[in-house]
Structure 1
Amino acid sequence: MFYVKELSDLGFEYIPAGPDRNTRITRAQNARRLGSKLPPAYPNGWFAVVESSELRVGDVKPVEVLGLNLCVYRGDSGAPHVVDAYCPHLGAHLGGGSVSGDCVQCPFHKWSFDETGRCNRVPGQETAPRGVSIKTWETAEVDGAIWIWHDADGNPPKWTIDNAPELQQWGYRGRNEFVVSSHIQDIPENGADVAHLNAVHSPSLLTNLGERYPFLLNFVGQHTWSAQWTKGEDHTATMTLSHNYTFGKFSVFRIDALATQIGPAHVRLLIHTAFGPILISQSVTPLSPLEQKVIHRFFSPAYNAPLTAAFVRGESYMFERDVVIWNNKRFVSSPAYVKSDKTIRAFRSWYSQFYSEGSLSFRDALRRHREPLDW
């Protein structure tokens, strides 16, 4: 099961179809007020850049994330590598190059760079030029994706990531992908915003009649939620979640889940149902300061693979409700908190650890995105 929604697919239903619809959506996005005192656009942490299944041995792919142009390739050893995109010789993009062994070759003059980034061969030359290299990025292959460590101050990884233990026996069942127009912090903040669950996700996935006619809720059913978010003392936070699909006072489908936030952009959601467990691994990767790629990867035992395939679509529909809001909201740095929002305040305090002195301000990140010259 593979479910994809682009930025223009959600939240712009008020703009009618027509040959200029994309132009009008762009105009609406440009007119949107972003808010004030936005946090830096690119926190420090691990970020998914390519799906493992999309990078075979010998493949080379260009990637634009975190305000960076990168090249991802898989060498003959099977290990993935991520390097800066542009060749230091004359600036060709290595994403159009090729792989030889565990080296990437520039498409322009076939200069070769090994897994450490060092230039190790130039055709027609007896020796490679000394001191010529490209930047390499700390890389991990986890939960069906290739991740890089990004740190604005150039520090090495503050924590490591490994495959979820369930993946030793469970299989991959599909994924969904969304491009969302928001600050990256808005997306994981949803986990701490417990009040939004029943406000946004209560109406039935089966029909919208209950939302339009509330007196029908006992007949068409609704989702009811309870949750508790807790920050850890390190780079992790957790949320316990219970869900019931109810007709009046009768529950017909219950879900219990534990979500673990690992750094700024990685969540694992372990779900328990009457039909078996499901693991969802979420990544949030900034494509630009206000454009996030969100992917949910689904894993389960073989015996409940059909349920998991259906779960991909159901979870996608639920997530769309959040995307519609994110695509049109502004960032509020000082909300009018009520008592039920105390976990949002706690979340923001916890999440601030992923920004550092060297973090590029949101304003500067937006300016660089719109004016990409290297002055």
Structure 2
Amino acid sequence: MTKNIEVQASAAAAEYRYARGWHCIGEADDYRDGKPHTLNIFGTRLVAFANDEGSISVLDAYCPHMGADLSQGEVVDGRIVCPFHHWEFEASGRCAKIPYCDRIPPKAKTKSWLTKEVNKLLFIWHNPEGNPPAEGVEIPYLPEIDSDEWNDSWNIDLMHIDTNPRELVDNLSDIIHFGPVHGTPCTYFANTFEGHIGTQEFHGDSGRLGGNLVAKSAYYGPATHFTRMSAEYDGKTVETILLNSHVPTSPNSFELRFGVLVKKDPTLTDEQNNELAKEYVQANRTSFYQDVDIWKHKARIDNPVLAEGDGPIYQLREWYSQFFMDESDIPAKLKERQVIVTMEKQEA
């Protein structure tokens, strides 16, 4: 009986459709260490590696020869070398050398995944249909990442969370949780959905992150979320950019990367700015982990019973659903601009 349940679960996982879109797999420089990196994502195993020029490639990890795990091999002259029989695969996924054979079989190749570096981060493209990104579907460049006025590190935390990624995405429209979970009452809240981009604008006050807090955030596809935030903190205006990006590992688990960039205060020394950045990054982490604690214990509710003021949960989920269907099946209305203001600004 137990074996049958395991087989059924395995079959269900194999049929699960992962979202179409760009997914962040970390800071690009972390892959430039001359070693292969194992990626257990999208219900399979991939290998990432860089050549001598620093160009990063991602391939299906299982060797087409006898199924060995390429991520357990080594990188030699910009190629990934299989640990089992030492077949060598180049960035395109083509086998370029078999040490004991001059003729390389035409089918000796593994899948190469489309990747892109933006904002010092490495992204991988996933599409069950096998198509490249449609025009305009991209991760925006943030000029702050190359500015001397900002700290030069994302200060990323990596977490593994055992739940469906939709629980995370729901936060984009869940206005009510800011008070009970974060102690941050809201004074203005609005969402915009248009094509592959979903946005949130939040105004409020936070005992942890500062007063007069204004956060403008956007999902660029199903999995990559940036927030520009400013607040009055310890007598100063602090500006930050938050990274909140996930990549699914199974139908009900994902890797989550949470990072923070902090703008330097020109009135402070470098040492003081570093201390302020560390303090504010930690405050953001503490706030975000309050959500993580909720996700660890909650159940997935596909048809929640909502009350007035809950925010556009159903509209968000309809927008999110487009990433799990063929592009030709996306309803035309999801490409149109929809603005939903849940809480209006109050006159002083």
Q: Considering the TM-score relative to the shorter chain, is it more than 0.5?
A: yes
Would the aligned equivalents of 1:182 and 1:292 in 2 still touch at CA under 8 Å? yes
1:164 is matched by which residue type in structure 2? L
Segment drifting more, 67-76 vs 269-278: 269-278
Residues 304-333 of structure 1: per-residue CA shift (max 9 Å, x gap): 443221122112211222122211111111
Q: Does 1:330 align with 2:299?
A: yes
Amino acid of the residue matched to residue 241 of structure 1? F
For 1:168, the equivalent position in structure 2 comes to 146
Mapped to 2, the partners of 1:162 and 1:315 lie a distance apart of: 22
Are residues 1:192 and 2:196 paired? Answer: no
**Residues 322-370 of structure 1: CA distance to partner in whole angstroms, max 9, x if unpaired?**
1222111111111112222341111011111101159xxxxxxxxxxxx
Taking a change above 3 Å as real, the CA distance of residues 232 and 99 of structure 1, as seen in their structure-2 partners, is same
Q: SS at 2:177's partner residue?
A: helix
- The DSSP-based 3-state class of the residue aligned with 1:195 is coil
Q: Per chain length, whose mean CA-contact separation is higher, i.e. which structure has more relative contact order (CA < 8 Å, sep 6+)?
A: 1
Deviation of 1:229 (Å): 3.5
Q: How does 1:191-270 map to 2 (within 5 A)?
A: 191-202=172-183, 223-245=184-206, 253-270=211-228
Structure 2 segments unaligned to the other structure (5+ residues): 1-14, 266-272, 328-348
Q: Any idea what the Cα deviations from partners look like across 1:162-189, whole Å, max 9, x if unmatched? A: 5322212131151223322221111011
Judged with a 3 Å threshold, the aligned counterparts in structure 2 of structure 1 residues 355 and 258 are, in CA distance, closer, same or farther, namely: same
Q: Normalised by the size of structure 1, how large is the TM-score?
A: 0.73
Determine the structure 1 residue equivalent to 2:331.
none
Q: Is the 8 A contact 1:76 1:100 kept in 2?
A: no
Q: Distance in 1 between matches of 2:119 and 2:256?
A: 14
1:343 aligns with 2:324: no
Residue aligning to 2:32: 56
1:13-162 aligned at under 5 Å gives the runs 42-158=18-134, 159-162=137-140
Q: 1:190 to 1:129 in 2, by over 3 A?
A: same
Give the whole-Å Cα distance in 2 for the aligned partners of 1:52 and 1:133. Answer: 25
SS of match in other structure, 2:314:
helix
CA distance 1:192–1:252, change in 2 (3 Å): closer
* Residues 80 and 90, structure 2, Cα contact 8 Å, conserved in 1: yes
* Contact 1:242–1:254 (Cα < 8 Å) also in 2: yes
1:276 equivalent to 2:252? Answer: no
Name the SS of the counterpart of 2:108 in structure 1: coil
CA displacement 1:88-107 (0-9 Å, x = unmatched)? 11111111112233321112
SS at match of 1:327: helix
Contact 2:17–2:128 (Cα < 8 Å) also in 1: no
Q: CA deviation at 1:48?
A: 2.0
- The alignment's TM-score, normalised by the length of structure 2, stands at 0.79
Deviation of 1:237 (Å) = 1.3
1:57 Cα deviation after fit: 4.1
Identity %: 28
Amino acid at match of 1:55: Y
**Unaligned runs of at least 5 residues, structure 1:** 1-38, 203-222, 359-375
Answer yes or no: is the 8 Å Cα contact 1:231–1:350 preserved in 2.
no
> For residue 4 of structure 2, what is the aligned residue in structure 1?
none
Aligned residues between the structures:
297
Compute the displacement of 1:78 (Å).
Answer: 0.6
Distance 1:246 1:181 in 2: 29
Change (3 A) 1:295 1:135: same
Deviations 1:215-269 (A, max 9, x none): xxxxxxxx4334424233211111112232469xxx9733212111111111001
Q: State the Cα RMSD in Å.
A: 2.4
Separation of aligned partners in 1, 2:36 and 2:278: 30
Contact kept, 8 Å, 2:200 with 2:216, in 1: the verdict is: yes
Residues 276 and 227 from structure 1, CA distance in 2 versus in 1: closer, same or farther, beyond 3 angstroms?
Answer: same
Letter in 1 for 2:212: R
Rounded to whole Å, the distance in 1 between the matches of 2:195 and 2:283 is 32
C-alpha distance in structure 2 between counterparts of 1:256 and 1:50, whole Å: 27
CA distance in 2, matches of 1:41, 1:183: 12
